[in-house]
Structure 1
Amino acid sequence: MNITKPLQRPFTLRLALLAGVLVPVVLVVALAGSWSLRLLEQQVNQRMQEDIELIAHAIRLPLSHAMERDRSGSINQALNSAFNIDVVYGAYVYDANGEEIARSGRRAARVENELAATLAASGDQLGEFSQAGDEEIFSYFVPLTDTGGRITGLLQLTRRGSDFSDYIAMVRQTAWLALGALCLLLIVLVIAGHHFALGRPVRRMLDGMARIRDSSNHARLSADGPQEIRELSQGINNMLDRIDRSEKLATIGRLAAGVAHELGSPLATLDGKAQQALRDTPADSRTSRLLRQIREQSQRMTVIIRQLLDYGRDNPLHRAKLDLESLLEQASERALAELNPESRKDVTLDINGPSLRIDVDPLRFDQALTNLIANALHACRKRVAISWASTTHQGDSGTQIIIEDDGQGVDPTEQAHLFDPFYTTKPVGQGTGLGLAVARAAIADHGGTLELASSSAEGTCFVIFLPEERPA
């Protein structure tokens, strides 16, 4: 039975931007717009009511004077003046008993006599919506008084309810169209901004990674675009450089181990034959001197081969809990033994630190310490200092070991290649260029780091950090 998997659209950065940014923004804009629109509608409704109130207050005084003097013509004239502004639907004047004495507009909007008398007697101004047949009406009532302040009647001005609803509907439609246009503009701006500011740099990065995968490991990403994209591209390029470097070093290690293995047996035979010939040769003869030189060079080659084997070794570690001070003292003794007696007299070796036990492979870690201390002894003027302490490095707890000398330091142009195999700053014939490479490889096998912390005219300082061994 064949099962067809449904096609899945990839969740791209653009979709993430739309879902994570645009949709919430549009929702917030819509909610804010809806709330603002409701406030606007209330203000519009109140403003339209205030228009009627202003007209009522404007004709109230002429109507009061006309009623006090019983001038019906003046009353009608004042009522008709309210219609000069095209918002009034009807105008009515009642006496103190609620009897209609004048009107202008539709009669259906007038109130009953009892209600008119009650409103007039209350002396309060009142606005309300009511139904006049099939039409909704807004009425505003204003008491009329004579010059003595006595209530003489009531003024009623009306306005169609549809004026309110139609105008509010128009405002609502305009507002929603404006909100829709604003949201559309936001979408266009965000998508355009994503394309130019983020989309194109990311696309170039993806194309560059495709070239690296399909064509050449030496291709690199172009570091352009926003700062974060540039930093990401540079980080990927640095990672690729480290991978290339690690592959090269691994190849050199395998080659070195193979060469050392092939040369070990012939070299041991050569040294043995030279030693055997020395027994049969007078000690002061020229042949004896040549044989001793052969043995010295063969022993030097043996050291080089041992270092090659150490560098190319890929065996599992056999860890044990050991006292760090004892390890450093033993490594220092072996490093001092390599110095000539005259140099050994002038060197002060300070070893100082708290009592600590570390979980290491004794042989591999001793190789690293011996090489580092030997380098410091060869480079120093008078003094080599070794110290250690428990510390934290990049969030990991562990042990830090510092080995520093008072020599001339390392030239800045040479620091980048200091840990490369076969790279040495010593004169020809005095160094193999494998000491620091073997030390870093051994420490890296323990999960630690070896770094050149500083190098100046006052000397060189190497720092080892060994993280605590985590339980499996």
Structure 2
Amino acid sequence: MSKKDPVKMNTSSTSRYHFGISGLQRTLLLFVVLPLVLFTALGIRFGLGQASQFQEQRLKNDLELIGRAISIPVGTALDKGDMHAVELALGSVFVLGEVYGASVFDVAGNRIASAGITETDLTGTTIPDRIRTTGEGQEAFSRVAGRSLFSHFLPLFDAAGQIQGLIQITRRASDFGHALQQLTIIAWLVWGSFSLVILAGVLLGHYGGVGRHVDKLLKHMQRVAGGDLSHRAALDGPSEVASLARGLNHMLDSIEQAHRDLDEHRAAETQLVARLKDNEKMVAIGSMARGIAHELGAPLSVIDGRARRLERSGSLDEQQLRNVAGIRSQVGRLTRTVRQLLDYCRPAATQPRELTPQVLIEGVIEAIRPELEAGDRSLQTRIPADLPAFCGDAGRLELALLNLLRNALQASTSQIGIAAEADAQSLTIRVSDDGPGLPAEHDLSTLLEPFFTTKSPGEGTGLGLAIVQAVAEEHGGHLSLANQAGGGCEARLQLPLTGNTKEATA
């Protein structure tokens, strides 16, 4: 998938976040607002139900009180047979304004007197029987003259305490609903307003507290998806959003570090492959050089021996002696080349032992002194007598120092120098000359390559510094070259004072 696709997807999701309802907002509405609204609706419904039952019971109690209030005068009037008094007592209930009708029935359910709308006959109902049986009031809903009524029946007692009839007090059944209608409307209006306030509060609170910070985080992620891996999200907003931003930044840091590690690994792998190729090439060259050196060594010894014998025979004139001397000189040069090839190609089987720097360096100076005298060069030395002893292979170190001194001798104009110093960690031997110095167009790695030389053809094999580098690595040290401020070159061979050879370490 290309990078444009996720960027486009993130852009559309951000647009939905601004102009619609985001997934987080839908979750809040579904799991917070909706349950809260439903619970409040159930609470209001339950409360209205309780209020309705309370109001209905109150209205029923009012009818019962009215019936009890007129039952005594009605019963007394019945005992006296005064129907006019009965009708007056029945008519008095309308003064309260809550009664729709009132009637008096005998014990069989026949109506005796009435006022308003009531039942005309109760003989076909069980109400008279229940009143006679229980002696208590009864309640019933009925439909009279097309109207739904609620009736409360009470027994009427004579002077002897016997039931002589019953009284009915009615009111419209709709009165029970009308009493709570206004309260119900107000309650649901309040519930609707409360729900809208909750909805607006949740949405606005979410955007102000979380949404806008999530929006910023989405914009940061959009930049990262666009390829800007160096961008980092701001750590603002609630702790959870800040933690997400911190996690995003940590992930980007890890990705960036992984890219750097991968680049470094690739570079190291490239260098390793190049070194392996160079090593393979040098192994091949070394094998060939070792074979050539062995093939040339014996013939050169024979040529030098016979030339020396002719030189000592006494039968040669002066010109012939000069020719023989030239032969021996060229044989010597070839012999030195063969020796360098063998020194470079033979395995580095070091034999470490404790060495004194002063003794080692003085031995090397004595070995090269004839070449110094032949080249008319002076040697400046600065070798302290209190240099600490160290462990190394004397033969390999002498070979390295001889190559350094010989290079300095060949590059110098009048003098060379050798100095040594030590600290708590290493011994440093410096070999300097007053020649033209190192060429600026070649770096150290090039100068240390085998068979590379800045000398004219026929004047060097290019193995001297390579041999010194190999000996330094065998002893755990390193070789460095630098031009001096006053002219000339300085070679610095640094050797560790402890654990300095591979053999000793092993």
TM-score, normalization: structure 1? 0.52
Which residue of structure 1 lines up, in the alignment, with residue 400 of structure 2?
368
Amino acid at match of 2:350: L
Q: Are 1:359 and 2:399 counterparts?
A: no
Residues matched between the structures, number: 295
The RMSD of aligned alpha carbons is 4.1
Q: CA distance change for structure 1 residues 108 and 429 in 2, over 3 Å: closer, same or farther?
A: closer
Which residue of structure 1 lines up, in the alignment, with residue 342 of structure 2?
309
- How far does the alpha carbon of each residue in 1:324-360 deviate from its partner, in whole angstroms, 9 at most, with x for none? 121111112212222234614x443333474122221
Quick one: distance in 2 between partners of 1:398 and 1:342? 33
Quick one: distance in 2 between partners of 1:270 and 1:418? 34
Which residue of structure 2 lines up, in the alignment, with residue 449 of structure 1?
478
Tell me how far 1:446 sits from its aligned partner.
2.1
Which residue of structure 1 lines up, in the alignment, with residue 499 of structure 2?
469
Which residue of structure 2 lines up, in the alignment, with residue 322 of structure 1?
355
Counterpart secondary structure, 1:365: helix
Counterpart secondary structure, 2:441: helix
Deviates more, 1:259-268 or 1:171-180: 171-180
Which residue of structure 1 lines up, in the alignment, with residue 409 of structure 2?
377
Which residue of structure 2 lines up, in the alignment, with residue 120 of structure 1?
none
Tell me how far 1:285 sits from its aligned partner.
4.8
Which residue of structure 1 lines up, in the alignment, with residue 441 of structure 2?
413
Tell me how far 1:312 sits from its aligned partner.
0.9
Q: CA distance change for structure 1 residues 459 and 278 in 2, over 3 Å: closer, same or farther?
A: closer
Structure 2, gaps ≥5 residues long:
1-23, 33-180, 232-258
- How far does the alpha carbon of each residue in 1:376-411 deviate from its partner, in whole angstroms, 9 at most, with x for none? 2333333414122226xxxxx433322222332122
Q: CA distance change for structure 1 residues 356 and 292 in 2, over 3 Å: closer, same or farther?
A: same
Q: Are 1:187 and 2:221 counterparts?
A: yes
Q: CA distance change for structure 1 residues 163 and 269 in 2, over 3 Å: closer, same or farther?
A: same
- How far does the alpha carbon of each residue in 1:239-283 deviate from its partner, in whole angstroms, 9 at most, with x for none? 554444444334322222121012112222222233333443525
Q: Are 1:398 and 2:426 counterparts?
A: yes
Quick one: distance in 2 between partners of 1:292 and 1:335? 21
Q: Are 1:335 and 2:368 counterparts?
A: yes
- How far does the alpha carbon of each residue in 1:4-36 deviate from its partner, in whole angstroms, 9 at most, with x for none? xxxxxxxxxxxxxxxxxxxxxxxxxxxxx99xx
Q: CA distance change for structure 1 residues 336 and 280 in 2, over 3 Å: closer, same or farther?
A: closer
Quick one: distance in 2 between partners of 1:464 and 1:106? 107
TM-score, normalization: structure 2? 0.49
Larger Rg: 2
- How far does the alpha carbon of each residue in 1:197-227 deviate from its partner, in whole angstroms, 9 at most, with x for none? 9xxxxxxxxxxxxxxxxxxxxxxxxxxxx99
- How far does the alpha carbon of each residue in 1:111-141 deviate from its partner, in whole angstroms, 9 at most, with x for none? xxxxxxxxxxxxxxxxxxxxx989989xxxx
- How far does the alpha carbon of each residue in 1:393-435 deviate from its partner, in whole angstroms, 9 at most, with x for none? xxxx433322222332122124554223333334454433322
Deviates more, 1:174-183 or 1:376-385: 174-183
Quick one: distance in 2 between partners of 1:288 and 1:383? 33
Contact 1:336/1:374, CA 8 A, preserved across alignment: no
Quick one: distance in 1 between partners of 2:489 and 2:271? 26
Contact 2:379/2:418, CA 8 A, preserved across alignment: no
Counterpart secondary structure, 2:383: strand
Counterpart secondary structure, 1:193: coil
Amino acid at match of 1:451: S
Quick one: distance in 2 between partners of 1:432 and 1:340? 23
Amino acid at match of 2:432: E
Amino acid at match of 1:422: F
Q: Are 1:296 and 2:329 counterparts?
A: yes
Contact 2:348/2:474, CA 8 A, preserved across alignment: no
Quick one: distance in 2 between partners of 1:376 and 1:456? 16
Tell me how far 1:309 sits from its aligned partner.
0.4
Q: CA distance change for structure 1 residues 193 and 427 in 2, over 3 Å: closer, same or farther?
A: closer
Tell me how far 1:372 sits from its aligned partner.
0.6
Structure 1, gaps ≥5 residues long:
1-32, 42-104, 110-131, 138-158, 198-225, 392-396
Quick one: distance in 2 between partners of 1:436 and 1:406? 18
Which residue of structure 2 lines up, in the alignment, with residue 44 of structure 1?
none
Q: CA distance change for structure 1 residues 335 and 425 in 2, over 3 Å: closer, same or farther?
A: farther
Amino acid at match of 1:192: G
Quick one: distance in 1 between partners of 2:190 and 2:360? 101
Amino acid at match of 2:313: D
Counterpart secondary structure, 1:317: coil
Identity %: 29
Quick one: distance in 1 between partners of 2:286 and 2:393? 20
Tell me how far 1:193 sits from its aligned partner.
2.0
Which residue of structure 1 lines up, in the alignment, with residue 19 of structure 2?
none
Counterpart secondary structure, 1:413: coil
Quick one: distance in 1 between partners of 2:385 and 2:435? 22
Which residue of structure 2 lines up, in the alignment, with residue 459 of structure 1?
488
Q: CA distance change for structure 1 residues 262 and 371 in 2, over 3 Å: closer, same or farther?
A: same
Q: CA distance change for structure 1 residues 343 and 228 in 2, over 3 Å: closer, same or farther?
A: same
Contact 2:451/2:463, CA 8 A, preserved across alignment: yes
Contact 1:135/1:160, CA 8 A, preserved across alignment: yes
Amino acid at match of 1:399: L
Amino acid at match of 1:189: R
Tell me how far 1:367 sits from its aligned partner.
0.5
Q: Which of 417, 431, 435 pairs up with 2:464?
A: 435
Quick one: distance in 1 between partners of 2:182 and 2:315? 148
Q: CA distance change for structure 1 residues 268 and 106 in 2, over 3 Å: closer, same or farther?
A: farther
Amino acid at match of 2:451: F
Quick one: distance in 2 between partners of 1:294 and 1:341? 18
Tell me how far 1:166 sits from its aligned partner.
2.6
Q: Are 1:265 and 2:298 counterparts?
A: yes
Tell me how far 1:368 sits from its aligned partner.
0.4
Tell me how far 1:292 sits from its aligned partner.
3.0
Counterpart secondary structure, 1:424: coil
Q: Which of 377, 381, 384 pairs up with 1:349?
A: 381
Contact 1:281/1:287, CA 8 A, preserved across alignment: no
Counterpart secondary structure, 2:289: helix
